[in-house]
Amino acid sequence: MEVTILLGLLGGLALFLYGMQMMSDGLEDVAGDRMERILEKLTSNRFLGVAVGALITAIIQSSSATTVMVVGFVNSGMMTLQQAVWIIMGANIGTTITGQLIALDVGAIAPLMAFVGVAMIVFLKAPKVQHVGKILAGLGVLFIGMDMMGSAMEPLRESEVFINLMTKFSNPLVGIIAGAVFTAIIQSSSASVGILQTLADNGLIPFSSSVFVLFGMNIGTCITAVLASIGTNRSAKRTTIIHLMFNLIGTAVFTVLCLTLPVADFVAAFTPGKPAAQIANMHTLFNIATTCLLLPFGTYLAKAATKILPDSKQEQENISILGTLNKEFGRTRTHLGADAIHMDILRQEIERMISLAGENANRCYQAVLDTDTAVLKKAEETEGIIDTLNKDISQYISKILVSSNSGSNVTNIEQYFLITGNAERIGDHAINIGEYVETIKKKNIVFSDNAREELEKMQKITQKAIDKVLHREDDMTVWLSDIAAMEQKIDDMTRNYREAHLDRMRKGLCSEEACVLYSELLTDFERIGDHVLNIAQAITKIYS
């Protein structure tokens, strides 16, 4: 009998969690690639932020999934820590919808929802309709799993061992710890609250004891975000601290209230004889009241998290996520907002690659003018970073292409791949320029004043074009036109300087070695201009 009960519980829990994952995937398919823009617009103030967090969590019925998404957004720089505070508060409110739906016995039509959802996926070909079908099917499977767990638990009403175990939860500390541990294990507060409702409906745990287990479940749900923050930057880790502080403060306040005031009796009076509804109402009250209590202090929560986990010197010096791209992908690929997170991380690293290539071009040019070989070591180190970025980005792009849920991402990724190749070539030309220093020093080559002036003008326009690429503007047409004009100017300057160079050669104003080297320098600068324009054209296709 015990084995049958265990198998029924495990099977029901599996369906419940799979149903939540289906809904999350469906929402990701519908809005994943637009998630960044949605959040930017709707987290401008605390009330909208709370509303967004509540709405998203109510749809996917998982505060853990929403919080993991927020951790990823903060880690990638798409969201500030302050914005994350409001989303987390809203997520805690939104997660209570599952309990309310269970209390309303929506599960009675769960098979119909699952059938309609699966029919939409199998028989209808429109992608958007299939995505909605996935959400609906997930919701149906979720409640079928809940009903399965309820049926499996019915025999436990006759088990004295289990009943004696449940009576121990009347101790507030034991109840809180039990709720936290159980939720941490299954990593879903919605599932654990649903199981608690099923226990209460079957008369296995009184409401007065279940409230403390419920409070602990709110703490245990933080474990998912904690696990997701491993390997992320400090801002992302602070997000999990805020999530944990929110639930610890709420638990402390409500535990004291329940021990000193008849709060449980007050909540139970609204739905007498309906334990599942009582638990759902207490869960809703806990999260709404805690949000109202802490909403004025959201800024202080962010400051407290920063105090608890201050910036380290190492992180301040190296904010880049170099070397973590593929690990980050592995952790976030199944969570809500994963596509948006992946694309933003990709954009950041590519922009860093372009910036490093531009810095190297400037550094190597200066080394040529100063005949300074000492600078070349730093240039070679930077080129090593560029090559590593090129490799990591290429691997990252491959993984996104394999797993991306959004067709629009594939088109953008193709352009990102072109951008990466052009950025890598800029770095190569920079090193070419730097390598001329050894020849200049070895052969004691001296450029004429006119040649130095021409090279300096060429370098300035090239660097200006690279800076322009890194600062995208609202009017992309004008932006691209400006960069194209700079590239054309580089071409014109190259042609004019070659003619002036030939004139100096005829007049015998420069040595043979200087002439050859000067010509190669012009070629490298011209090629850099070509690659900058290629990058700008690809960026325009992404954002057009």
- Alpha-carbon distance of 472 to 542, in angstroms, equals 12
End-to-end CA distance of the chain: 63
| Residue that is written with structure tokens 């490298």 in the block | 524
Low-confidence spans in the chain with pLDDT less than 50 = 1, 313-325, 328, 330-334
- CA–CA distance from 366 to each of 235, 361, 437, 456 (Å)? 37, 9, 10, 9
What residues contact residue 286 under an 8 Å CB cut-off, 6+ apart?
214, 215, 218, 250, 254
Handedness of CA 432, 435, 437, 443 (dihedral sign): negative
**Cβ atoms 133, 118 nearer than 8 A:** yes
The answer, as to whether pTM is greater than 0.95, is no
CA torsion angle for 506, 510, 514, 516 (degrees, to 10)? 0
- Alpha-carbon distance of 342 to 333, in angstroms, equals 8
**Cβ atoms 146, 181 nearer than 8 A:** no
**Cβ atoms 344, 77 nearer than 8 A:** yes
| C-beta atoms surrounding 529 within 10 Å | 26
Helical segments of 371-475, H only: 375-403, 407-443, 449-470
Among residues 275, 229, 270, the alpha carbon closest in space to that of 64 is found at 229
Among residues 72, 44, 43, 37, the alpha carbon closest in space to that of 55 is found at 43
- Alpha-carbon distance of 306 to 299, in angstroms, equals 11
- Please state the separation of Cα 298 from the chain's center in Å: 21
**Cβ atoms 280, 146 nearer than 8 A:** no
What domains lie within the chain, and their CATH numbers? 2-317 (no CATH), 325-543 (1.20.58.220)
Handedness of CA 265, 271, 276, 279 (dihedral sign): negative
**Cβ atoms 255, 282 nearer than 8 A:** no
CA torsion angle for 291, 294, 300, 302 (degrees, to 10)? -20
Span 252-309, pLDDT tens digits: 999 999 999 888 889 989 888 888 889 989 999 999 999 999 988 888 888 898 888 8
In this prediction, residue 332 carries a pLDDT of 47
